[in-house]
Amino acid sequence: MRLYGVRIACCPLFTPPLPMTLDLTGIQTKAALHQLFKEKLGFEDWYGPSWDAFWDSIVAIVEMPQELVLTNWEEFARCCPRDMAILRQVIEDYEQEMRPKRIVLG
């Protein structure tokens, strides 16, 4: 059972180039991480800083790249261990449900 959202079916029209990299340097809060996701991944204006909204956005609302690489994530992991654990679970579930697309920690 997923704690962060429900999968909504979608039919992508195109696949953005592979890979896309997001640098998490300086990200120390959940809100800052979600703001980065919103800006860089093109989430809707109404997107809020929650794992439910993140899941819905990456599986059904925006067209994700074939591979999203998150770099320099260690500071976020130190500052927000609970949210990092949730992000790791999201990454695992995303790979299972959206293969061949994936999110990786680089």
Per-residue pLDDT tens digits for 42-87: 999 999 999 999 999 999 999 999 999 999 999 999 999 999 999 9
Is residue 56 situated within a structural domain? yes
Instruction: State the pTM of this model.
Output: 0.83
Beta partners for 70?
22, 105
Domain extent, residue 41, equals 20-105
Residue 15 lies in a domain: no
**Three-class SS state of 5:** coil
Joined tokens for residue 26: 């300086």
Number of structural domains the chain divides into: 1
